[in-house]
Structure 1
Amino acid sequence: MKIARSGDELIKICFEENISLSEYAIRYEIENREITREELYIKMKKNLNVMIESANSGMNKEIYSVSGLIGGDAYKIKKYLDKGNTLIGETMVLAMAMALSSSEVNAAMGKIVACPTAGSCGILPAVILTAGKKLNKSEDELITALFAASSVGMIIGMNATLSGAEGGCQAECGSASAMGAAAVVEMMGGTPKMSLDAAAIILKNVLGLVCDPVAGLVEIPCAKRNISGAISALSIADLVMAGVDSKIPFDDAVSAMYKVGKCLPTSLRETAEGGVAITKAGLELRKKVYGEEE
């Protein structure tokens, strides 16, 4: 099988072979890992099960981070959702709760799927699971959606970065959101090009998003950025399914994200030396964690 090293190549292969993004990723894994389709689905099912657990744990009980900086918010959102009087609807609010739940589980040293990173671990589960519930998708269809997301993640990884330390939060939460949006578009019957248009729009919307963890911990503002990423992915999927395309192609958006990330000063790339990490409140929270003298 041909290997796609860009979004354009990925679209071309999918068109020539008459396959989806998910099928491309599946064939790629089968060929490169010398594994059967059944074995591959079993492995991905394990990832899905971990995602389901992490996305639900924080909604069922209050989970607090080891530092004590965050926790209990996914539980609050779920209680709010249960009242049935939300402004933006059940799907979006459930996605918010799920994204935050996984982030809280991560900060509490629980088990998550770092997809594509631990700091952005709440986005893809929230997006896939809430969309799956809304669209009445089966377990196998959710697994297939994860493969669709992975095809986009592979291209970003080949041509840019998924690391906050290298490219800022645009590379972490931005990439996770792009992967989620692309997967949902496929879940809704969109073409590979439509999926990549959704991913491109996501990346354009988060260009320059810095990585500025308070106290150097993946908690503040990371957890709430997972919420933002999940909401963005779902809304952009609807946008693209309505027929709106991206004037800037996916490959150009990935290139721009990488270049912008390289331009960010080190203080804004996971060092906790800039952004909200060094605000008055940010520094006070740092003292709360480490004491006056670190």
Structure 2
Amino acid sequence: MNFTSGGSLLALCQDQGMTISQIMIQREISCFGKERHEIWERMAKAYDIMKNAVRESEEKTLRSVGGLIGGEAKKIHQRRKTVKPVCGEVMAKAMAYAMGVLEVNSSMGLIVAAPTAGSSGVIPGVFLAVEEEFGFSDEQMIDALFNAGAVGYLITRNATVAGAEGGCQAEIGSASAMAASAVVQLQGGSPQQCLDAASSVIGTMLGLVCDPIAGLVEAPCQKRNAMGASTALISAEMILSGVRSVVPFDEMVDAMYRVGRSIPYELRETAMGGVAATPTACKLCNKIHGAG
């Protein structure tokens, strides 16, 4: 059982009466010749790493290699525990968790590149916040990860998740689309609604450039992970409310790829443009790398 587009995935879901996660699990079994329990155990391990990264950022004082980030997640937690968050509890948690994972990544800790290291905070941030706030089990969250994996697979196959090729829209945008689709499924949404949520995210983040200060996955990457987690939750809520995506998922993925190819190379992970080229960023770059 395989699929190569959102359209063919939806057709399988309809024909088989399965969720996106169930179809993705069957695909993994057929493509890799593994037993279901082996596929499940590998995904469970990935989710365990995600959770550990979040907890590590809460329990330890982390400092990134470049010194640009460290401790921001704790600040979000401290505020939400003191006053009612402006954006609500679920959103505040998702933001803090996403930012914390980036602190773990940039301090050489263990994370899951889902789909990349630069966007590794989005899915853990969204998943743990939703699991805690809605009382889902780990088993339900692991199942939802297969949904996210299906979306990530389609984007990787038909476009790109690499910032160097498609800008940050390809990294944060893809991670956020994956998370949004999974949340919709968790909340009882249909496969069509899942892909509508993913499409909505991509359309919202279309054109986002990749411009890391000093070439490090620290800033503005950390804040973009928080924004990506927020966008995923917003998109899921809109779709679950009955708002449709005007442009189908497959067309939106193609649009993202074409936009990414047209982004100047200075804005595709080279640290030669955007935020990375500001006077302050250049001074920080010289300080970090010992130039000038």
TM-score (norm 1): 0.98
- Take 2:88 and 2:287, find their aligned partners in 1: how far apart are those partners? 36
Q: CA shift at 1:60, angstroms?
A: 2.5
Q: CA shift at 1:79, angstroms?
A: 1.1
Q: CA shift at 1:206, angstroms?
A: 0.6
Q: CA shift at 1:62, angstroms?
A: 2.2
Q: 1:77-106 CA distances to partner (integer Å, 9 max, x unpaired)? A: 111121142111111101011000000100
- Take 2:84 and 2:127, find their aligned partners in 1: how far apart are those partners? 23
2:179 aligns with 180
Does 1:69 pair with 2:68? yes
- Take 1:178 and 1:104, find their aligned partners in 2: how far apart are those partners? 22
2:98 aligns with 99
Given residue 44 of structure 2, which amino acid in structure 1 is its aligned partner? K
- Take 1:92 and 1:173, find their aligned partners in 2: how far apart are those partners? 17
Given residue 34 of structure 1, which amino acid in structure 2 is its aligned partner? G
- Take 1:273 and 1:11, find their aligned partners in 2: how far apart are those partners? 41
1:41 aligns with 40
Moved more, 115-124 or 79-88: 79-88
- Take 1:70 and 1:30, find their aligned partners in 2: how far apart are those partners? 40
Given residue 288 of structure 1, which amino acid in structure 2 is its aligned partner? K
1:193 aligns with 192
Q: CA shift at 1:291, angstroms?
A: 2.2
Given residue 50 of structure 1, which amino acid in structure 2 is its aligned partner? I
2:215 aligns with 216
Q: CA shift at 1:56, angstroms?
A: 2.2
- State whether residues 59 and 97 of structure 1, in contact with CA within 8 Å, keep that contact through their aligned partners in structure 2: no
Q: CA shift at 1:13, angstroms?
A: 0.8
The secondary structure found in structure 2 opposite 1:119 is helix
Given residue 251 of structure 1, which amino acid in structure 2 is its aligned partner? D
1:57 aligns with 56
Q: 1:3-33 CA distances to partner (integer Å, 9 max, x unpaired)? A: 2111111111111111001001100111111
- Take 1:288 and 1:91, find their aligned partners in 2: how far apart are those partners? 37
1:227 aligns with 226
2:204 aligns with 205
The secondary structure found in structure 1 opposite 2:117 is coil
- State whether residues 161 and 167 of structure 1, in contact with CA within 8 Å, keep that contact through their aligned partners in structure 2: yes
Identical columns (%) = 46
Q: CA shift at 1:262, angstroms?
A: 0.2
The secondary structure found in structure 2 opposite 1:12 is helix
- Take 1:78 and 1:231, find their aligned partners in 2: how far apart are those partners? 16
2:167 aligns with 168
Q: CA shift at 1:203, angstroms?
A: 0.3
- State whether residues 61 and 75 of structure 1, in contact with CA within 8 Å, keep that contact through their aligned partners in structure 2: no
Q: Which runs of 4+ in 1 moved over 6 A?
A: none
The secondary structure found in structure 1 opposite 2:218 is coil
Q: 1:195-225 CA distances to partner (integer Å, 9 max, x unpaired)? A: 0000000000011100001000011101110
Given residue 223 of structure 1, which amino acid in structure 2 is its aligned partner? Q
- State whether residues 62 and 74 of structure 1, in contact with CA within 8 Å, keep that contact through their aligned partners in structure 2: no
Does 1:144 pair with 2:143? yes
Q: 1:24-81 CA distances to partner (integer Å, 9 max, x unpaired)? A: 1100111111111111111111101100011222122321101111111011111112
Given residue 245 of structure 1, which amino acid in structure 2 is its aligned partner? R
Given residue 284 of structure 1, which amino acid in structure 2 is its aligned partner? K
The two structures, once aligned, show a CA RMSD in angstroms of 0.9
Q: CA shift at 1:292, angstroms?
A: 3.0
- Take 1:43 and 1:111, find their aligned partners in 2: how far apart are those partners? 16
Does 1:238 pair with 2:237? yes
- State whether residues 60 and 75 of structure 1, in contact with CA within 8 Å, keep that contact through their aligned partners in structure 2: no
1:252 aligns with 251
- Take 1:143 and 1:207, find their aligned partners in 2: how far apart are those partners? 28
- Take 1:85 and 1:153, find their aligned partners in 2: how far apart are those partners? 34
Does 1:275 pair with 2:274? yes
Q: CA shift at 1:233, angstroms?
A: 0.3
Which structure 2 segments of 5+ residues have no match? none
- Take 1:148 and 1:250, find their aligned partners in 2: how far apart are those partners? 14
State how 1:125-136 maps to structure 2 within 5 Å. 125-136=124-135
- Take 1:125 and 1:35, find their aligned partners in 2: how far apart are those partners? 26
2:88 aligns with 89
Which structure 1 segments of 5+ residues have no match? none
